[in-house]
Structure 1
């Protein structure tokens, strides 16, 4: 699931946490994808600086961080400013230094998952999908941050939350679907295969 460049960092419980961090930036020539190393970052602002360094002139900069095949964090900068953060589960901040670094200071809760279940039902009715295609929603995760951070790129908040809550979805699966939806799926796939 992780590329050969998957990295590790120490968890707060003394073990190591494997992670994959991919910066996807959109500049004048379209989307580009680059793997970045977060091990030296001391706080969220240093992570944002690493994202800015990928392309200082990027209109949109996204960072997807997948940890231990369990957690996903997405960071966004527009024109290098206004950092927005989303985390698939608040437990990520409690279980590792990386999680605390990325979402530990995120206070604003994401939309309640009960509303996602309603959105999934509505989505199923409109698109004619059956329950197997949509997948069961896990109620035990607690997303945090800004689920609207990809709305203008074509991914509504309820869809992001539903993907994170879908039973059996790995963070890499969520990242792949998100990237496909917003138009940088090929770039992410090439990065993983590289």
Structure 2
């Protein structure tokens, strides 16, 4: 189950609205959704959370390129909305079969089952594929100028949207849409 919300900055503070992702199929759709909520080209944050498994943030400011963050790339890659964000963050190319998420070793295994040899040897360094895709991916300073440091963002685990909204001073408005 997904929960998605938009937080739009205004001169009076933050405004929140829940959002329906049913018609979202591409990154452009997500970006357009955020831009439509913008007031005078102010900052808009689109949050997507899947049952505390992962969360993603899309930040849009005017016509600038959007910024992205995903808390757990391996978990997000298993969901349709997460896959949209991951494709952007890893630079997937539809014409390159090697860039297909199904061919990436996102969780450190080839078929989704734990690799017993990895469990037995904790000193084995991660491969470049595992290092690039395990855990957080994207702009870790996406909220730093809004009051949530990189280290605080990386420390979030469950109910991340509520903690982010609290740091931004928008907890009350987010709660009204939950």
Tell me the TM-score normalised to structure 2 length.
Answer: 0.71
Task: Name which one, 1 or 2, has greater alpha-carbon Rg.
Answer: 2
5+ residue gaps, structure 2, are 92-133
Q: Check the 8 A contact 2:27/2:85 in 1, yes or no.
A: yes
2:135 to 132, 142, 150: 142
What is the correspondence of 1:42-81 to structure 2 with a 5 Å cutoff? 42-81=25-64
Q: Which residue of 1 aligns with 2:23?
A: 40
DSSP-derived class of the 1:81 partner: coil
Instruction: Kindly report structure 1 stretches of 4+ aligned residues shifted beyond 3 Å.
Output: none
RMSD across aligned positions (CA) = 1.9
CA positional deviation for 1:102: 2.2
Task: Name the CA distance, whole Å, in 1 between partners of 2:20 and 2:41.
Answer: 19
Matched position secondary structure for 1:188: helix
Of 153, 156, 164, which residue of structure 1 is paired with 2:146? 153
Structure 2 residue 7 is the aligned partner of structure 1 residue 24: yes
Secondary structure (helix, strand or coil) at the match of 2:17 reads: strand
Work out whether residues 47 and 161 of structure 2, in 8 Å CA contact, stay in contact via their aligned partners in 1: yes
> What stretches of structure 1 of length at least 5 have no aligned partner?
1-17, 109-140, 164-168
Alignment of 1:121-136 (within 5 A): none
Q: Secondary structure at the match of 2:88?
A: coil
Check whether the contact 1:93–1:101 (CA below 8 A) recurs between aligned residues.
no
Offset, 1:37: 1.2
Query: What TM-score, normalized by structure 1, do the two folds share?
Result: 0.65
Per-residue deviation at 1:27? 1.5
Q: Secondary structure at the match of 1:63?
A: strand
Q: Give the 3 Å change call, closer, same or farther, for CA 79–95 of structure 1 in structure 2.
A: same
Contact map agreement 2:42 2:62 (CA 8 A) in 1: yes
Which residue of 158, 162, 166 maps to 2:155? 162
